[in-house]
Amino acid sequence: MFSRLFGRKTPQAPPSTEGRLAYAVGDIHGRLDAFDALLHVIAEDALASQPTQRPMLILLGDYVDRGPASAQVVERILKLTEEPAFEVRALKGNHEEALLQFRDEPGFGQTWVEHGGAATLASYGVQPPVTRTDPDAWETARVAFRDALPPSHKAFYEGLEIMITVGDYAFVHAGVRPGVPLDRQVERDLLWIRAEFLQSTAKFEKVIVHGHTPMEEPQVVAGRRIGVDTGAYATGLLTAVRLDDSGHRILQGRAVRSAA
Ligand SMILES: [Mn+2]
């Protein structure tokens, strides 16, 4: 009997959220349909959970590009921030960085459209130049885009956070640089890092919750990281992780049509 007791692994206490209920949503990339489906699932879960404090809705970045409804996704996020149901916190992804770069720098347009920026321009009613090597045409598109951005969207893109911490968790878009303390991480790594973070075996200060690198299944590496980018722009499947002091649970929303 004792050997059975002692032989048993002591279950480790899950990482703490300091009493909060939090949902972290992966890369939306203009898929308002998948976002709305997931929001419905999250709202039902939050209602059933009856948290003592307002639940957090943490958005992990890459709201724009590739999918058809970038501007509309941002509009939905802004509406959520005005409603009392969630404390909404939004991180910056590398695609929001690209959007801001093009707003200020027409020469960046060609690179941006190669990474899905044309869909974002179209969602704001701006057509990218027909001749993509013409600098004047890019300047025209840049000015049209700048003027098409509602002030609320401009403030949203400019006010995005780069890291959010809740208890034992740190939320970032892409990941963190191994071996560098969280308070000394640089924005470039937090928005862009891939292999060096994903393949690292170094100890992180907190459990890192991130998106950025699409995977077929959410990636839960116990005590280290939780990756929730399931490539919604192509799959129509958007993933979130629900966190509280009892642990984590994966929630998903699927668009009715899965074609990008
Ligand atoms: Mn990304």
Q: Is 102 exposed, middle or buried (0-12, 13-18, 19+ CB in 10 A)?
A: buried
Strands 225-227 and 237-244: unpaired
Its pTM stands at 0.94
Fold topology of 15-96+160-254: Purple Acid Phosphatase; chain A, domain 2 (3.60.21)
pLDDT at 260: 47
Distance 50 CA to ligand 1 centre (A): 33
Distance 64 CA to ligand 1 centre (A): 10
Distance 91 CA to ligand 1 centre (A): 11
Distance 61 CA to ligand 1 centre (A): 7
pLDDT at 130: 87
Distance 190 CA to ligand 1 centre (A): 10
Q: Which residues surround ligand 1, an ion (CB under 5 A)?
A: 62, 93-94, 212
What the block records as the tokens of 32 is 């308002």
Domain boundaries along the sequence of the chain: 15-96+160-254
Distance 49 CA to ligand 1 centre (A): 31
Q: Tens of pLDDT along the chain (260 residues)? A: 454 555 555 567 899 999 999 999 999 999 999 999 999 999 999 999 999 999 999 999 999 999 999 999 999 999 999 999 999 999 999 999 999 999 999 999 999 999 999 999 999 999 999 888 899 999 999 999 999 999 999 999 999 999 999 999 999 999 999 999 999 999 999 999 999 999 999 889 999 999 999 999 999 999 999 999 999 999 999 999 999 999 999 999 999 864 54
pLDDT at 3: 47
